[in-house]
A = this chain, B = another copy of it.
Amino acid sequence: MPADSGVPHVLIVGGGFAGLWATRALAGSPVRITLLDRENHHLFQPLLYQVATAGLSAPDISAPLRHILRRQRNVSVLMAEACEVDTARRQVIDANGRAHAYDYLVLATGATHAYFGHDDWSRFAPGLKTLDDALAIRRRILSAFEHAEIEADPVAQAAWLTFAIVGAGPTGVELAGTLAEIARHTLKHEFRRIDPRAARVLLLEAGPRVLSSFPESLSEKARKQLERLGVEVLVGTPVSAIDADGVVLGTQRIAARTVLWSAGVAASPLARSLGVPLDRAGRVPVQGDLSVAGLPEVFVAGDLASVQQEGKPVPGVAPAAKQMGDCVAKVIRARIAGQAAASFRYRDFGNLATIGRMAAVVDVRGWHLSGMFAWWFWLAAHVWFLIGFRNRLVVLIDWARAYWSYQRSARVIVGRNEAGSQAGTESASAANQKT
C-alpha cells in the first residue's frame, strides 16, 4: 500500500472513457485511486471498426492504462476482472477472489452486445466491443474471401461472398460501408477465381431507418451513400434466426457465411450485484450527482449509467462518458471538502457517423452535413482525440496511404483458436508451414 493511505480510497472499475477521465480528473486530489480493468489498455472504441476491417492494427487505437497514467502518482492500475460488488462490506471481488476495498466506488464497466434472448446467435454473429472482437471479425471477413477463392462449388462460393450485418446503428453502418469498399476496391485485382466485387453486403435493420439517432434527413442521406458504395440496405427487416449458414428474415433465408452483430446493447452484468433496480438494458439509474440512490458512495458513469436529461436519455457515446467521468471526480472532490456539488449536465457537441470512403453524416447543433466534407470533419475529430502521439501519426500515415491506394495495411489474419470459429483452413492443428 502507498504511504498516503490515510486519504480516502477511490476504486474505479473500468478504464474506458468514463473511468479514465474520472481517474485523470482526480489527479492532485487528496485521494488514493485504484483503477481496475480486465484489459491492460484503454481502447479508442470509436475506431474499433477500423481494426475489424483491417485498416488499423490493434496497437494503433489502444495504449496501456499504466503508461497513460504513469505520471499520476496517486493512481495504482491493476489488471483484474471485477465480478461482484459487495456494497455492505464496501469492496469489489475480482475473478481471482481478491477483495478490493473502497471508500468511493466508480463503476464504469460499460456495455456489451445483447442478442435479445438469442444468446446462441453470438457464435455465428460476433459483435464488436473489444480488441479481441475486432481481431475475430477481421479474421472472419478476410477468411471468407479466402474460402470463396478455394471453393469450387458456386453456391458455396456465393455464401462465402455474402456478408450480413445486423443492426444499422453507427457501428453497423461503418462495418457495411467499409466492407463494401474492401470488396469493390481493396481486393479488386488480388483473386484469380472469384471477383471480390461480386460480394454482397447486406445491412439489415429491424427499425424503419438507418442511424435512428440522427435526424431523418441525414438517415436518408446515409442510406443513399451506403447504396452508392454498394451496400444493400434493408430497413423494417427483423432477423428471426441466425445459424452457421446465414440469416432468416421472416420466411426468407439468406445464405451468408459471415454475419456480424451490431444491434443490441446490454449493460455490464456487474451492475446486478448492486442490488438496486436496473433499467431494461441493465443500466443503473443514477441521481443527479451520478451516485446510486441509497448508496451515496457508489457512482456509475459511462454506458453503464442510465441518465435522463430533459426527458431524453443521455446517449451511450464517448463524449457523454468523458463528461460523466469528469463530473464524478468533481462530486468526490466536493464531498471530501464538505462542499455541495453541482449535478451532471450533458453538453451535446453533436453526432457524427462515418459510412465509408469520403462518406459520413454530421449533426452538430442542428447543422447538418453529409458526404465528403462530413467525412473530413469526422476524420479530423477522430484522429485528434486518439491518445498518444505515435498513434495519431501512424494512423494518419495509414489513412493517407489507404486513401491514395485503396489499400488497407492490417490485412493479417491472426488467432486460430477462436471458440466457434469457422471451419476450414483455420484448423488449430500443429504448425507445419513456415510463413
Contact = CB atoms under 8 A, between A and B. Distances in A.
A150 B79 contact: yes
Q: How many copies does the complex hold?
A: 2
A409 B59 contact: yes
Contacts of A199: none
A87 interface: no
A111 B434 contact: yes
Interface string A106-125: 00111110000000000000
A94 B398 contact: no
A245 interface: no
Interface in A75-123: 75-83, 94-96, 98, 108-112
Given A79-B146, A96-B424, A425-B79, A131 B191 contact: no
Given A43-B435, A130-B435, A435-B14, A417 B414 contact: no
A16 interface: yes
A249 interface: no
B409 A390 contact: yes
A40 interface: yes
A16 B433 CA distance: 8
A397 B393 contact: yes
A150 B40 CA distance: 13
A76 B298 CA distance: 60
Number of contact residues on A: which range applies?
35 or more
A243 interface: no
B98 A150 contact: yes
Interface stretch (A63-71, A164-172, A374-382): A63-71
14 contacts: A14-B435, A37-B433, A41-B435, A45-B434, A58-B410, A59-B410, A78-B146, A80-B150, A82-B432, A111-B434, A130-B435, A304-B434, A417-B417, A417-B419
Interface of A: 2, 13-16, 18, 37-43, 45, 57-60, 62-64, 66-67, 70-71, 75-83, 94-96, 98, 108-112, 129-132, 135, 142-143, 146, 149-150, 189-193, 268-270, 302-304, 389-390, 393-394, 397-398, 401, 407, 409-419, 424-425, 427-435
